[in-house]
Amino acid sequence: MRSSLLSCPQWRSHSRLPRRPIAAAALLAALAALTGCSSGSLTTWFDGAPPTPEEAVRISPADHAKDVRADDRIEISAPDGTLERVRVERVEDAERQEVRGSISADGSTWQPDAATGKLVLAAKYRVHAVALDEDGKRHARTTSFTTHVPDERFIGYFKPENRSTVGTGMIVSFSFNRPVEDRAAVERAIRVTSQPAVPVVGHWFGKERLDFRPRTYWQPGTRVTTDIRLRDVQGAPGVYGIQNKSVGFTVGRHQTSLVDADDHTMTVTRDGEVLSILPISAGSAKNPTYNGKMVVSEMHDVTRMNGRTVGFGGEYDIEDVPHAVRLTTSGTFLHGNYWSRGVFGSTNASHGCIGLRDVKGGSGSTPAGWFFDRTLIGDVVEVVDSSDAKVAPHNGLGGWNMGWEQWTAGSALR
């Protein structure tokens, strides 16, 4: 029972079915003694239950909506509470451009600026909103959607962001909105170079994703440039690229974190010096954490985690998980945990995430806050001595789990 509540989300590539929902009476009894881990608060089934994050923060267009039209409007509201903060960004071409807007005087709605709030075609948008309900409880929602791309065109959405500073494990990753048939032509039109210069090679994961990395981690201080010359390149019969631009990023200090799942510790090392050894709680015996190297791809000061989104049914739903650092696409996070007691440094109790001690609302003085404040997108977190398999190279930015020969074999130009 305890392991079903003290846990975090992680979808599995191998068969591992969520447990059956326990009876309401048993669940209520368990909730009287225990709290759960994930991305929103545990749901209760009685009259007057608090709103879900979707009810507390309403966002349109819907999460993961595609083919949104340019004349559609972004709408954000807190029907029974007040919006605390809202950030809307266009993240096309890895460069965030904030969509300006304002929260109404009563805090119930957010409206985009009339002059700059119109949607543009062939773009990806991300919305992050936090609201307080009538009881003063905080609810966070993060959604994304993409706007219409003309049928005869394709576009690549990629990371990292332009002009960002990243960790030494950063991988340049393109996701295309349509399958690429002529992968050699598309790969040839994208050139990733660095100063100091090192060989950088692309690797295809299927027809819709192309990643680039060097043989080993980037040197601190390296400046990386990605030249994209996809305009009028034929990616598939009758389908042509529309992008022509150059973006770049700078590599910061070298920081890696080694999670020993068996020892329940995480050793944080920067530029060869151990900064700290932190007590952690990893995945339980039934839901262990992936082994292998994972790259930080997102960071959220607060986010929701819901077991239904990653194959665990209604086992957990926590709306205000603090200091959340995404490690895989499938749902592995390293995050703050304020609901578990006595597990850090001694017990692996999650659904696959890595938990650090935290307080509700987050604090920079806790282990989770300390780590979050010292982390960059592109930092590497490596897990060892877990009972699970090694993370797949395409799950998040997992390409460092491939040797150089295997990596280069995935290029369409070799």
pLDDT digits (tens, 9 = 90+) for 217-255: 999 999 999 999 999 999 999 999 999 999 999 999 999
Per-state percent for the chain, helix, strand, coil, to nearest 5: 10, 40, 50
> Is 223 among the domain residues?
yes
Q: Residue 23: which CATH number? A: 2.40.440.10
In terms of domains, do 281 and 378 share one? yes
Residues tagged active-site: 335, 353
As given in the structure block, the two tokens for residue 49 are 């239950």
- The predicted model scores a pTM of 0.72
Q: Which of 9, 38, 28 is nearest to 1 (CA)?
A: 28
In terms of domains, do 163 and 206 share one? yes
In terms of domains, do 220 and 272 share one? no
In terms of domains, do 378 and 259 share one? yes
Number of structural domains the chain divides into:
3
Q: What is the pLDDT of residues 28-71, one digit of tens each?
A: 333 333 333 433 333 333 345 667 788 899 999 999 998 898 88
Q: Which of 147, 175, 195 is the last residue of a domain?
A: 147
3-class secondary structure per residue, 19-85: CCCCCHHHHHHHHHHCCCCCCCCCCCCCCCCCCCHHHHCEEECCCCEEEECCCCCCEEECCCEEEEE
pLDDT of residue 49: 63
DSSP classification of residue 209: E
In terms of domains, do 62 and 18 share one? no
98 burial via Cβ count (<10 Å: 0-12, 13-18, 19+): exposed
Q: Count how many Cα atoms sit within 13 Å of the Cα of residue 398 in the half-sphere of its side chain.
A: 19
